[in-house]
Structure 1
Amino acid sequence: MQSQDNLYARLSDFHDVEADLAETRHYLHAHPELSFEEAETARYVADKLEGWGYEVTRNVGGHGVVARLSAGTGTKSVAIRADMDALPIQEDTGAAYASAVPGKMHACGHDGHTTMLLGAAEYLARTKRFNGTITLIFQPAEEAGHFSGAQRMIADGLFERFPIDAIFGLHNHPGAPAGAILTRSGPMMAAGDTVTITITGKGGHASRPHLTVDPVLVACNLVVTLQSIVSRNIDPTQTAVVTVSTIHAGEASNVIANTATISMSVRSFDPAIRAFLEQRIRKLTQSVADGHGATATVDYENGYPVVVNAEKETAFARQVAEELIGTEGVSTCHLIPGSEDFAYFLEHKPGSFLRLGNGETSQILHSSKYDFNDASLTTGAALWARLVERYLDA
């Protein structure tokens, strides 16, 4: 009788394909495509999946690819998602497989995410040691910031056309050992909102400020005031970020401009706090502007919501990870102030978003020197294969 370990995918099952996974990843890395432009990446992915026997649907919500495969008599279906898009950054890694497209690179590791899911897909199609239906989601435009690939795929009937019981995804994690797996139940990654404030005063000559309403002065006062929101209005046991990222006004040193513009990034982990931050930003902006005789408009754009992992599915994913690499390789993830559009999937279906170590000396995400760590590829592929087998065998 086989031990439970031998019933499901193991790291050793992927040792023979390490070079193949690296070759796939290097190809994708050298041919990056930005959000909404992933036509060739989607074609590459879809062609491979069809060759392995998956039922493939292309152009779901844009360049999205959905692949389905069934085995046995099971009625459950589990979905795994990987993102495909790159970033508008000039690569500076010096790698032999560096981006061949000027000004575009895989600076967030989506080439690795796609490769790992392809590796799991090939293994599952070859072994068919599962009882139910696999749904693999290769998503475009995660980096879009608003009306992203996840939103577009959902709007295109993703869950109605391809019914599932649960959904899982992951992102690589610079700073954690390569191949380590991090999980967290409940809120994990922040909601990310973008705010643009336009202050209108009365311009004039810099030598006669008393005849003007200086929007730069108003903007500077407002920046200081906005920094009080988190420190004086948010419970210290909660987490929120209000960052003023840009201030733009005028073009000449001897001219007081008519307008000044501030842009901000706002992060939160709780819907109530998210709503409160917007309320305070709007109120303080109007108060400061009124106090100086200026006017202000606030353009508040809600970005991705909080990534909230379901307790049951997270506990299951952690158990699978511990079976695969041992308890010493699995840890609880800290709250991450970055945002992720996988949150939209979790608003519709139970599931969990994981993190996979990219190496303790890895460059940070969105850096021109960042590169996905090939040493993590087999762990990610084996994790997805085992998770599918275990979920559909439960």
Structure 2
Amino acid sequence: MNADRSTVIAERIQQRANEIFPEVVELRREIHRHPELAYEEVRTTALISETLIGFGITPEPPLLETGVVAVIRGGKKAANGKLVALRADIDALPLSESNEHGFCSMEKGKMHACGHDMHTAMLLGAARILVEMKEELEGDVLLVFQPAEEKAPGGAKPLLDAGLFTRFNPSAVFGQHCFPNVQTGKVAMCKGSFMAAADELYFTVTGQGGHASAPHKAADPILAAAHIITAVQHLVSRVVPPHEPAVVSIASIHGGNATNVIPSQVTMSGTMRTMNEEVRALLHHRLRQTVMHTAEALGVTAELEIRNGYPVLYNDPAVTTRAMTLCGEYLGKKNVIESEPLMTAEDFAYYLQACPGTFWQIGTGTPEPVKGNTLHSPTFNPEELALKTGSGLLAYTAIRFLGMP
């Protein structure tokens, strides 16, 4: 596609994204008013299906109990059957909203505090643009409205296990996530390892209780727990290579309920985050060793349960390079910035294990940062102008990527 043609397409999409912006805003607000937790997104699923049908897009038979999958068939069918997948997550978080705008959550203890309402509305906006411009599609577009990103094992892996990519076989997959630290109108992209593998750690330290005045007659699990907390920190500084990002954090500890009683058991929990699967496996092994031997040295026993979370999110370098070019064409090169790797986790990583693609940060922030406007906060309040950016950008990326050799 020549430069003039790509400019015409970009301008056409920008105009349409601007025209449908009020409707996309209302879709986002309706989803925001009625947040649903992971695996419970029945109302949201119905809204997505009804909206797509209204656009002339028929949802595919469901692969899971919630979520929607649909295909937009291109008017310029590629000889190789090329297909691009676009994904949005649809679930909310279990916390109460503290904002004061006119479309706050109506569901007690539930809130779209991670921007999934924004992601869903953006993909719906993109779907409308794409179906209206299907004559420009040199292939098909797979729309994936995925449930349960916020709760392990997530919705991505079950969708893949149910045959999502076996049935549709995309040549690339794209996704985006709201980030309030990136200014609205910009995107931040990263080649290679972008988000961390996040594993949950659960410790149980068992000793022998006794009177606090005679600790020598007890086997103190609190002292042992303190030593375990200190000992596991050396894994990052002395086991992981200095150039490899890794974090081990113990985030909770519970044991005892009196000032003069040494308890018999202490429980702790935390997280381990890594950007390299080999480092991840090494830390699993060394963490178990450290916990067991520290406990043994202090006369107690310790059990460690490691619950594997999402894998490392690895953006295919070649696809990401192409996507950066396309985003620059649509937004202007100055609005495409490079991101550092993040230690947050995302189950979009599973798609990237099955298919080359990329996942980027879409800006929802303002020039002057607003206190409390952070992800997973009860006062998270993304800039809605990002809906226009995100809808158009997904549509443009799909059209242009399908047209590339």
Q: TM (normalized to structure 1)? A: 0.97
**Partner residue of 2:325?**
319
**Partner residue of 1:344?**
350
Q: SS where residue 181 of structure 2 aligns? A: coil
Q: Quick check: 1:114 aligned with 2:124?
A: no
**Partner residue of 2:290?**
284
Q: Quick check: 1:137 aligned with 2:147?
A: no
**Partner residue of 1:305?**
311
Instruction: Quote the offset at 1:229 in angstroms.
Output: 1.3
**Partner residue of 2:102?**
96
8 A contact 2:77–2:140 mirrored in 1: no
**Partner residue of 2:19?**
16
164, 178, 187: which one aligns with 1:181: 187
Aligned amino acid, residue 149 of structure 1: G
**Count of residue pairs the alignment pairs up:** 393
Q: For 1:189-227, what per-residue CA distance to the aligned partner results, in whole angstroms no more than 9, with x for missing partners?
A: 000001111111001222221110010000011111111
8 A contact 2:69–2:145 mirrored in 1: yes
Q: SS where residue 376 of structure 2 aligns? A: coil
**Partner residue of 1:169?**
175
382, 387, 390: which one aligns with 2:397: 387
Q: Quick check: 1:253 aligned with 2:267?
A: no
Q: SS where residue 40 of structure 2 aligns? A: coil
In 1, the alpha carbon distance for the partners of 2:278 and 2:249 equals 19
In 1, the alpha carbon distance for the partners of 2:9 and 2:27 equals 27
Q: SS where residue 183 of structure 2 aligns? A: coil
In 1, the alpha carbon distance for the partners of 2:358 and 2:107 equals 34
211, 215, 219: which one aligns with 1:213: 219
Q: SS where residue 132 of structure 2 aligns? A: helix
Unaligned runs of 5+ in 1: none
8 A contact 1:106–1:371 mirrored in 2: no
The alignment yields a C-alpha RMSD, in angstroms, of: 1.4
Q: SS where residue 22 of structure 1 aligns? A: helix
Query: After alignment, is 207-216 or 100-109 more displaced?
Result: 207-216
337, 340, 347: which one aligns with 1:334: 340
In 2, the alpha carbon distance for the partners of 1:368 and 1:226 equals 32
Identity %: 37
Aligned amino acid, residue 342 of structure 1: F
Q: For 1:139-171, what per-residue CA distance to the aligned partner results, in whole angstroms no more than 9, with x for missing partners?
A: 000001x22100111111111222211111011
Query: After alignment, is 2-11 or 85-94 more displaced?
Result: 2-11
In 2, the alpha carbon distance for the partners of 1:171 and 1:193 equals 21
Instruction: Quote the offset at 1:58 in angstroms.
Output: 4.8
362, 366, 369: which one aligns with 2:376: 366
Query: After alignment, is 194-203 or 222-231 more displaced?
Result: 222-231
8 A contact 2:153–2:310 mirrored in 1: no
8 A contact 2:365–2:382 mirrored in 1: no
Aligned amino acid, residue 173 of structure 1: F
Query: After alignment, is 11-20 or 101-110 more displaced?
Result: 11-20
Unaligned runs of 5+ in 2: none
8 A contact 2:91–2:112 mirrored in 1: yes
Aligned amino acid, residue 352 of structure 1: T
Q: Quick check: 1:30 aligned with 2:33?
A: yes
**Partner residue of 2:385?**
375
